[in-house]
Amino acid sequence: MVTRAMAICLASLRRNHQANQDGLSSLASSATAAVLGVTGVGASVASVVLGAAERVPTLTWGDDPVSRRLADLQFTTGEGPAIDAIEAGAAVFAPDLAELSQVRWPAFTAEAIALDVRAVFALPLQLGAIKVGVLVLHRDKPGPLSTPALGDAVALADAATSILLSAAALAPEMDDDLLDQQQMVVFQATGMISVQLGIDLTEALIRLRAHAYGNNRMTSEVAEDVVARRLRFDEGQR
C-alpha cells in the first residue's frame, strides 16, 4: 500500500521522465525523504566495471551530502548494506547500526556513526536477474521503518528500477546519465594504477581504496589526484 504523498511524488517523477528523459533528477530526494520519514535517501547504480565480485554502488541520485558520503564510504571500504543488498538481491535493513552492524561492517559502521547516521535501509533495484542498483535510506535516529514507510520505499524502488532501466536502454554505455562523474574518475585512476604497478584492475582498485581509507580521504578525491598526476602509486619503486 502506497501513501497518497508518495503516490503524488511517483506520478510526478514518471511524468517528468516521460517528457524529458531526465531519470530521477526531477524528483528532489529531500522531499522523498520527508515522505518516508528518514533523514536522507539516495539511489546508486550497480556499476559492473571489474566483474561481479567488484560490483560497487555509484551514487546517481541524492541531493544530501550524507547520502553521497555513505555511497563513497561503501565504495571505499567494500562493505555496507548497499553492497550486501546488491549481492544478495534482497533488502538489507540495519535499524540500529550501533547494535547490529559492528561485526558485519566494522569499518563502514564506525564511519557512518561518525556522520550521525543511526539507521540504514537498503533496497535492491532489480528486475529478475538484472541488478540495476540500490536505494538507500538513512536516518539519524535508530528504529525500524514504519509499515507505511516500508510500502512507500518498495514503491519508490520499483519506480527507480524502471526509470534506470529505461535510461540504460537509451544509453547502453551508462556514462554520464547513470554514472556519477566522480566515480568515472575512480575507474580511470584504477586503470592508471594498474599500469603503474603492473597489477590487474581488481588489485588496483583495492590499492586505491586502501590509500583513501588509510588517509581518511574519499576515494574520488584520491582518484582525482591520480588522474591529475599529483599522486603516483609507484613512487617507491622508481
Q: For residue range 24-75, what is the model confidence (pLDDT) as tens digits?
A: 776 778 889 999 999 999 888 765 433 444 455 677 788 789 998 998 888 8
Nearest partner of 188 among 204, 166, 177, judged by Cα: 204
Predicted TM-score (pTM) of this structure? 0.75
End position of a domain, from candidates 123, 151, 170: 170
Strand-pairing partners, residue 176, are none
Q: 113 with 227, same domain?
A: no
- Report yes or no on 162 lying in a domain: yes
Tens digits of per-residue pLDDT, 65-117? 999 899 888 888 889 999 999 889 999 999 999 887 567 899 999 999 999 99
CB of 132 closer than 8 Å to CB of 161: yes
End position of a domain, from candidates 124, 149, 170: 170
Q: 26 with 143, same domain?
A: yes
Tens digits of per-residue pLDDT, 118-146? 999 999 988 777 778 899 999 999 999 99
Tens digits of per-residue pLDDT, 196-228? 888 877 788 889 989 999 999 988 889 999 999
CATH number for the domain spanning 41: value is 3.30.450.80
Residue 173: pLDDT band (50, 70, 90) is very low
Q: 185 with 114, same domain?
A: no
The whole-number pLDDT of residue 21 equals 59
Q: 48 with 116, same domain?
A: yes
Query: CB within 8 A of 221, min separation 6: which ones?
Result: 212
Q: 144 with 77, same domain?
A: yes
C-alpha cell at 43: 539511489
Q: What 8-state DSSP symbol labels residue 81?
A: H
- Report yes or no on 175 lying in a domain: no
Q: 128 with 197, same domain?
A: no
Residue 169: pLDDT band (50, 70, 90) is very low
- Report yes or no on 176 lying in a domain: no
Q: Given phi > 0 = left and psi -120 to 50 = alpha, else beta, which region is 83?
A: alpha
Q: 143 with 78, same domain?
A: yes
Domain that residue 100 falls in: 4-170
Which of residues 13 and 79 earns the better pLDDT score? 79
* CA–CA distance, 230 with 228 (Å, rounded to integer): 6
Q: 164 with 185, same domain?
A: no
Number of CB atoms found within 10 A of residue 147's CB: 9
Q: 197 with 162, same domain?
A: no
Q: 46 with 93, same domain?
A: yes
The whole-number pLDDT of residue 55 equals 52
Share of the chain above pLDDT 70, in %: 80
Q: 32 with 116, same domain?
A: yes
Nearest partner of 183 among 158, 166, 208, judged by Cα: 208
Residue 23: pLDDT band (50, 70, 90) is low
- Report yes or no on 25 lying in a domain: yes
Q: 61 with 107, same domain?
A: yes
Average pLDDT over residues 179-184: 61
Average pLDDT over residues 149-177: 72
Place of cell 551514487: 59
Number of domains in the chain: 2
